[in-house]
């Protein structure tokens, strides 16, 4: 990713076009659902997905790190896709990447895919913790919290922020001349923020299917930009 | 001929004498050819005795040994029918010649039970009736070569149906393999009316140049084409709506007929018409049935038996009854909606009036006003003998990849020998070395680049250079997915779950996914209530009432043939000159006169282009009359050229008569029309290809290719897991290939296929130069014209954009805010 990337702001955070959240004051960067080795997993099962998705995922992470110089990266789960995908080659790629960013602290909130993939290689130097974890005043989770429907619980009964992954939200937008696009997006409801999947070779869930109520803000990723959009009237 | 041969020939003669029948000259010609061990193509219409021509040919010529004849039919329904016809005839022949060996006829299709398959494996029948897919599965077994050591002949029924499709290519490859095992193999094809018999012969018998006989069957009967005309013509020719408006006339016609077939173009339409007819005439329940490809085999077989025994008065059907199934001819054949082509019309009309000397008759039921014109056009084309040709697809790599893995499963292959074998087929005769190498690379390592697809391996050469499949899981999954009929994930519809009841058929998973518990829908002519979806089965119970949805199945839309499109322009020209001859022309006169008032009726040498501003944006309607496919290509080309002048996101709607472009930036179309038309010196194919890259067409075309090449597992109705749960979607593959392996052979194949099949580039080029030579008539509309209206209400299926995502999203966001403010 180059320097022309344009961020959006949500509360005190910056949202990047790659789908990361940046807190400059605390120097913390959040990403979710990278799914490293997903393509390799498919290949092992006999499906010819070309290589390159892992490299490009790491490259994008490198881009945000270069722009932000974050001291701490929190991965909100599903860093790796499956045990099958974690092989020597992936390890070597991650190690090389790690060597270029030796000083960054990496924390992984264990996601459902991570749990099934076994321990990460020690050489990656990533600390794995269960959810929730509190970092810079933010409750960090993989699966979003269960939202009770009563009005008082909209903020989770607390003033802090909560970030989660797992859902891979996407939004379908309609325009003049029946134009239509589907884009990965950030999904905010009060102080809860769902991050889009950072990974390349991943699908997404429509915001209308996200069972967390109506979003209070949506930010769509268009490649170089993050744009705040309104919630479309109907599901795509 | 030896003694027993002569004896058998006499047997056949006395079989005919017993029935006081006379063998047709073409049947005798076919038997003679069989006795001379020759191969060939038999061209005769359905129901004229083709089966006996071939079956008795084999019986006279061959000594029955296990699996000595393969009989390939395109449809399972036909297969069962062929078995009965052949077995009965063989038994009767055997009774006439007690000394001769008895022939056993077996059936092997996707429906055949495992027990029966195992029995056949132990004791193979002499003649096996099968489908191209089941044959491919049979040939993908480790001991295939041994199985076919006695094979002497292959008969392909309804070859014209397979010829133009990838299924036919799969069969071409299978035949090449069988010929390699059995060099003296006799191969016969049977084909109905076709425009280009030579292509049909060469594709089936590529190695028998000059030797492949063509035998012509009985001359087709004379044919009458009628049109049911609406009492009042609607001002606007709504697509699909006028269909049911014609119900009273249709009922009246059916009442007058002793028995009838009602053909529709889609399964959805068949369901709707069946319901409507039953509502109109509840007393026809029991005499009336529904037949289409998604209905359970048992139910279909029941309908076919009913047609044969004459217990059914009326069957509403789709192309599922186009072929074979020798039932009693019906008195009346109705065609709902456009027949789209001359060959199909002749075939369907042939279902009626088989009695000698009687004309076959088809009654057209127009579903929108413009279709009224088609009857006149069809009559003209039939009279002139203009019938469409069908061509074999050219080197589809997805089918070849699948075939190579199959051969890798059945004993393996040496690359150099295999290439020679593959090139003997008509479809791959011009296969390049580069494409061949790509296929080998693909099955070995997923793609061209050595490092691009680590961990992937489907098939690879062993120490002796023989390519084999090693992984058992890959072998198993491959066998499950042999075939080229790509379909969306389908689920079985069944009564239950407690107790599990009758299987009704299958619907697309996407339809079921939208259903809520308790929601009602029509299927197989019944009103059902959705209970739940589990284990890829849609459990249902009976429901009452009438308001409900009807599933839509994805299906190919047939483009109007060039012949028909040209004939339509002639009819319009006559109208423009004020000549209203014939019932149809008189019926449509008010509509065309309105067209003349608000715009203009295009003459044959004119191109009518209409522009209109609506709330949605700026529309342009181009009445090219080139048939759906070529119109689609033209629409992309025009949109591409317009977007090059000024950046835009353009929605595209297409039908058989023309296309519409809808601009998101509200541009003034009239100024760009000459630029979009271009001039004759500009070659178009590069531009069309470029326009495709800006559109979603190639991406959509990629879906079936991904399935055939084994990227995406096909649907297994009633299977344990959804195809969607364990697979990445074809669209995801397409995107990843585009980014990380743009040289992927399957990507270029999808582009080639879009150009050749979907857009019919040759037809497109012809159409474009005709438009360029035409006199341009630009009209600005204040309201939709009758010609523009069907395009206006057609869904915008395609889109071409050269704007960046961010520009489009900004405009969308602005619009949402406008709506919120309003």
Question: What are B213-240's pLDDT values in tens digits?
Answer: 888 876 556 778 888 887 776 655 555 5
B473 to chain A: which residues are within 8 Å by CB?
45-46
Q: What average pLDDT does range B748-772 have in this prediction?
A: 77
Q: Work out how many CB contacts closer than 8 A connect A with B.
A: 140
The beta-carbon neighbor of B728 closest among A42, A177, A225 is A42
Q: What is the pLDDT of residues B355-375, one digit of tens each?
A: 545 677 889 998 877 788 888
Tell me the residue ranges of DSSP E strands in chain A. Answer: 8-10, 13-15, 21-23, 28-31, 72-75, 105-109, 127-129, 133-135, 138-140, 161-164, 169-175, 179-189, 192-194, 205-206, 217-221, 226-229
Question: Global pTM?
Answer: 0.70
Q: What average pLDDT does range B744-766 have in this prediction?
A: 74
The beta-carbon neighbor of B651 closest among A179, A181, A227 is A179
* Token duo for residue B759: 């857009």
Residue B607: pLDDT band with limits 50, 70, 90? very high
B811/A179 touch (CB, cutoff 8 Å), yes or no: yes
B809/A201 touch (CB, cutoff 8 Å), yes or no: no
Residue B450: pLDDT band with limits 50, 70, 90? very low
DSSP B546: S
Distance from CA of B52 to the nearest CA of A (A): 46
A47 to chain B: which residues are within 8 Å by CB?
456, 711, 727-728
What pLDDT is recorded for position B729?
62
What pLDDT is recorded for position B406?
92
β-strand pairing of B314-317 with B260-263: parallel
Distance from CA of A71 to the nearest CA of B (A): 31
A123 reaches B (C-beta below 8 A): no
What pLDDT is recorded for position B76?
74
What pLDDT is recorded for position B708?
74
What order of strands is seen across the sheet that includes strand B537-542?
B503-508, B490-495, B537-542, B526-534, B520-523
The beta-carbon neighbor of B447 closest among A39, A50, A228 is A50
Q: Residue A171's beta-bridge partner residues?
A: A183
The beta-carbon neighbor of B809 closest among A50, A53, A222 is A222
What pLDDT is recorded for position B725?
37
- Closest alpha carbon to B699 in B740, B727, B730, B742: B730
Rounded to the nearest integer, the mean pLDDT of chain B is 81
A158 reaches B (C-beta below 8 A): no
Cβ-proximal residues to B229 (8 Å cutoff; 6+ apart), any chain: B249, B372, B583, B584, B587
Query: What residue of A is the nearest CA neighbor of B804?
Result: A222
What pLDDT is recorded for position A141?
93
B739/A229 touch (CB, cutoff 8 Å), yes or no: no
- Closest alpha carbon to B603 in B581, B567, B570: B570
Q: What percent of chain A has pLDDT over 70?
A: 86
Look at A43 and A217; give whichever has higher pLDDT.
A217
Residue B728 sits at φ, ψ, to 5 deg, of -80, 150
The sign one gets for the Cα dihedral B2, B8, B12, B17 is positive
Q: What average pLDDT does range B550-560 have in this prediction?
A: 60
A235 reaches B (C-beta below 8 A): no
B816/A229 touch (CB, cutoff 8 Å), yes or no: yes
The beta-carbon neighbor of B815 closest among A48, A176, A225 is A176
Residue of A50, A181, A208 to mutate for B, most B C-beta atoms under 10 A? A50
Q: What percent of chain B has pLDDT over 90?
A: 24
B812 to chain A: which residues are within 8 Å by CB?
173-175, 179, 181, 229
The beta-carbon neighbor of A177 closest among B617, B736, B737 is B617
Residue B453: pLDDT band with limits 50, 70, 90? low
Residue B797: pLDDT band with limits 50, 70, 90? low
Look at A7 and B723; give whichever has higher pLDDT.
A7
- The number of angstroms, rounded, from the C-alpha of A129 to the middle of its chain's C-alpha atoms is 17
* Chain position carrying tokens 């991904």: B706
Residue B451 sits at φ, ψ, to 5 deg, of -100, 0
Look at B563 and B543; give whichever has higher pLDDT.
B543
A200 to chain B: which residues are within 8 Å by CB?
736, 739
CA angle B695, A199, A163 (to 5 degrees): 120
B616/A177 touch (CB, cutoff 8 Å), yes or no: yes
Look at B718 and B272; give whichever has higher pLDDT.
B272
| B343, B46 contact by CB (below 8 A) | no
pLDDT above 60: residue A188: yes
What pLDDT is recorded for position B354?
54
pLDDT above 70: residue B465: yes
- Closest alpha carbon to A178 in B793, B392, B180, B22: B793
What pLDDT is recorded for position A200?
66
Distance CA B545, CA B576 (A): 49
Q: Residue A11's beta-bridge partner residues?
A: none
Distance from CA of A44 to the nearest CA of B (A): 5
Q: Residue A134's beta-bridge partner residues?
A: A139
Q: What is the pLDDT of residues A5-38, one digit of tens each?
A: 678 889 899 999 999 999 999 999 999 998 888 7
Residue B357 sits at φ, ψ, to 5 deg, of 80, -10
- The number of angstroms, rounded, from the C-alpha of B623 to the middle of its chain's C-alpha atoms is 26
pLDDT above 60: residue B555: no
The beta-carbon neighbor of B808 closest among A87, A181, A201 is A181
Query: What residue of B is the nearest CA neighbor of A46?
Result: B456
Distance CA B90, CA B766 (A): 52
Residue B1: pLDDT band with limits 50, 70, 90? very low
What pLDDT is recorded for position B551?
67
The beta-carbon neighbor of B811 closest among A51, A175, A178 is A175
A172 to chain B: which residues are within 8 Å by CB?
none
Distance from CA of A26 to the nearest CA of B (A): 30
Residue of B805, B815, B818, B821 to mutate for A, most A C-beta atoms under 10 A? B805
What pLDDT is recorded for position B726?
38
A175/B815 touch (CB, cutoff 8 Å), yes or no: yes
Using DSSP's 3-state secondary structure scheme, residue B364 falls into strand
B458 to chain A: which residues are within 8 Å by CB?
46, 48
Q: Which helix (H) or strand (E) holds B708?
A: helix B697-708
Using DSSP's 3-state secondary structure scheme, residue B756 falls into helix
Query: What residue of A is the nearest CA neighbor of B737?
Result: A50
């Amino acid at each position: 990713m180059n320097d022309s990337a344009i961020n959006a702001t949500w509360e005190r955070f910056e949202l990047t076009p790659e789908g990361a959240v940046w807190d400059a004051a605390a120097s913390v960067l959040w990403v979710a659902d990278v799914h490293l080795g997903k393509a390799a997993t498919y290949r092992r099962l006999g499906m010819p997905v070309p290589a390159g998705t892992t490299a490009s995922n790491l490259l994008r992470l490198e881009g945000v790190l270069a722009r932000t110089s974050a001291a701490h990266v929190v991965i909100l789960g599903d860093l790796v896709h499956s045990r099958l995908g974690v092989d020597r080659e992936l390890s070597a790629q991650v190690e090389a990447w790690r060597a270029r960013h030796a000083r960054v602290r990496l924390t992984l909130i264990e996601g459902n895919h991570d749990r099934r993939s076994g321990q990460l290689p020690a050489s990656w130097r990533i600390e794995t913790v269960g959810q929730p974890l509190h970092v810079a005043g933010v409750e960090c989770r993989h699966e979003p919290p269960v939202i009770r429907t009563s009005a008082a619980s909209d903020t989770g009964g607390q003033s802090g922020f909560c970030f989660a992954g797992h859902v891979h939200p996407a939004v379908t937008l309609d325009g003049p001349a029946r134009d239509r696009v589907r884009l990965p997006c950030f999904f905010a409801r009060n102080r809860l923020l769902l991050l889009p999947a950072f990974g390349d070779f991943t699908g997404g869930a429509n915001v209308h299917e996200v069972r967390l109520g109506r979003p209070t803000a949506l930010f769509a990723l268009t490649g170089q930009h993050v744009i705040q959009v309104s919630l479309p009237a109907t599901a795509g | 001929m030896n003694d027993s041969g002569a004896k058998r020939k006499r047997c056949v003669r006395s079989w005919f004498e017993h029935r006081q029948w006379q063998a047709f000259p073409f049947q005798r010609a076919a038997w003679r050819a069989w006795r001379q061990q020759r191969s060939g193509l038999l061209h005769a219409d359905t129901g004229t005795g083709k089966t006996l021509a071939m079956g008795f040919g084999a019986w006279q010529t061959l000594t029955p040994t296990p699996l000595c004849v393969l009989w390939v039919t395109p449809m399972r329904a036909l297969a069962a029918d062929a078995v009965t016809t052949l077995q009965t005839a063989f038994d009767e022949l055997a009774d006439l010649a007690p000394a001769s060996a008895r022939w056993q006829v077996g059936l092997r299709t996707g429906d055949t039970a495992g027990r029966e398959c195992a029995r056949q494996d132990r004791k193979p029948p002499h003649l096996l009736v099968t489908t191209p897919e089941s044959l491919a599965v049979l040939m993908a077994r480790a001991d295939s070569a041994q199985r076919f050591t006695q094979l002497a002949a292959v008969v392909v029924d309804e070859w014209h149906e397979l010829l133009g499709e990838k299924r036919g290519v799969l069969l071409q490859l299978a035949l090449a393999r069988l010929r390699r095992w059995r060099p003296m193999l006799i191969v016969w094809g049977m084909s109905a009316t076709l425009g280009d018999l030579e292509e049909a012969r060469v594709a089936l018998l590529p190695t028998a140049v000059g030797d492949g006989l063509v035998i012509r069957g009985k001359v087709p009967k004379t044919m009458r084409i009628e049109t049911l005309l609406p009492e009042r013509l609607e001002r606007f020719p709504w697509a699909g709506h006028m269909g049911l408006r014609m119900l009273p006339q249709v009922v009246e016609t059916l009442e007058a007929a002793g028995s009838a077939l009602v053909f529709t173009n889609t399964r959805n339409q068949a369901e709707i018409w069946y319901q409507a007819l039953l509502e109109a005439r509840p007393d026809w329940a029991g005499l009336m049935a529904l037949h289409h490809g998604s209905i359970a085999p048992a139910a279909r077989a029941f309908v076919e038996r009913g047609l044969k025994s004459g217990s059914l008065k009326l069957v509403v059907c789709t192309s599922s009854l186009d072929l074979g199934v020798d039932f009693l001819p019906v008195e009346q054949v109705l065609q709902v909606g456009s027949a789209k082509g001359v060959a199909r019309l002749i075939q369907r009309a042939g279902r009626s009036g088989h009695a000698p000397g009687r004309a076959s008759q088809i009654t057209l039921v127009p579903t929108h006003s413009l279709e009224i014109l088609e009857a006149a056009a069809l009559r003209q084309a039939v009279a002139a003998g203009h019938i469409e040709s069908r061509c074999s697809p050219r080197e589809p790599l997805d089918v070849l990849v699948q075939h190579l893995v199959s051969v890798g499963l059945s004993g393996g292959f040496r690359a150099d020998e295999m290439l020679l074998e593959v090139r003997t087929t008509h479809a791959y005769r011009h296969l390049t070395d580069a494409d061949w190498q790509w296929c080998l690379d693909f099955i070995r390592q997923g793609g061209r680049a050595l490092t691009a697809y680590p961990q992937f391996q489907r098939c690879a050469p062993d120490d002796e250079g023989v390519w084999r499949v090693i992984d058992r899981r890959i072998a198993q999954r491959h066998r499950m997915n042999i075939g080229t009929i790509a379909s969306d994930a389908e689920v079985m519809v069944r009564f239950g779950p407690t107790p599990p009841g009758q299987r009704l058929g299958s619907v697309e998973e996407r339809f079921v996914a939208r259903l809520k518990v308790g929601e009602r829908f029509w299927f197989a002519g019944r009103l059902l209530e959705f209970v739940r979806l589990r284990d890829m089965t849609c459990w249902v119970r009976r429901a009452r009432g009438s308001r409900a949805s009807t599933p839509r199945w994805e299906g190919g839309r047939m483009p109007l043939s060039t012949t028909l499109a040209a004939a339509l322009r002639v009819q319009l020209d006559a109208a423009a000159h004020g000549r209203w001859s014939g019932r149809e022309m008189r019926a449509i006169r008010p509509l065309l006169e309105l067209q003349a008032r608000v715009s203009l009726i295009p003459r044959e040498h004119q191109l009518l282009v209409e522009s209109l501003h609506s709330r949605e944006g700026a529309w342009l309607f181009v009445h090219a009359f080139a048939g759906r496919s070529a119109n689609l290509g033209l629409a992309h080309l025009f949109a591409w050229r317009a977007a090059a002048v000024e950046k835009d996101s353009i929605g595209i709607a297409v039908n058989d008569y023309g296309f519409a472009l809808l601009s998101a930036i509200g541009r003034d179309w009239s100024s760009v029309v000459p630029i979009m038309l271009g001039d004759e010196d500009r070659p178009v194919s590069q531009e069309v290809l470029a326009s495709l890259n800006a559109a979603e067409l190639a991406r959509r075309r990629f879906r079936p290719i991904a399935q055939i090449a084994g990227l995406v597992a096909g649907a297994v109705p009633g299977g344990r897991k959804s195809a969607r749960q364990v697979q990445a979607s074809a669209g995801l593959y397409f995107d990843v290939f585009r980014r990380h392996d743009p040289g992927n052979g399957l990507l270029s194949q999808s582009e080639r296929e879009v150009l050749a099949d979907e857009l019919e580039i040759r037809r497109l080029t012809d159409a474009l130069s005709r438009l360029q030579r035409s006199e341009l008539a630009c009209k600005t509309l204040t309201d939709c014209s009758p010609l523009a209206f069907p395009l206006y209400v057609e869904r915008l299926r395609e889109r071409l954009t050269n704007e960046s995502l961010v520009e489009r999203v900004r405009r969308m966001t602005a619009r949402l805010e406008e709506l919120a403010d309003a």
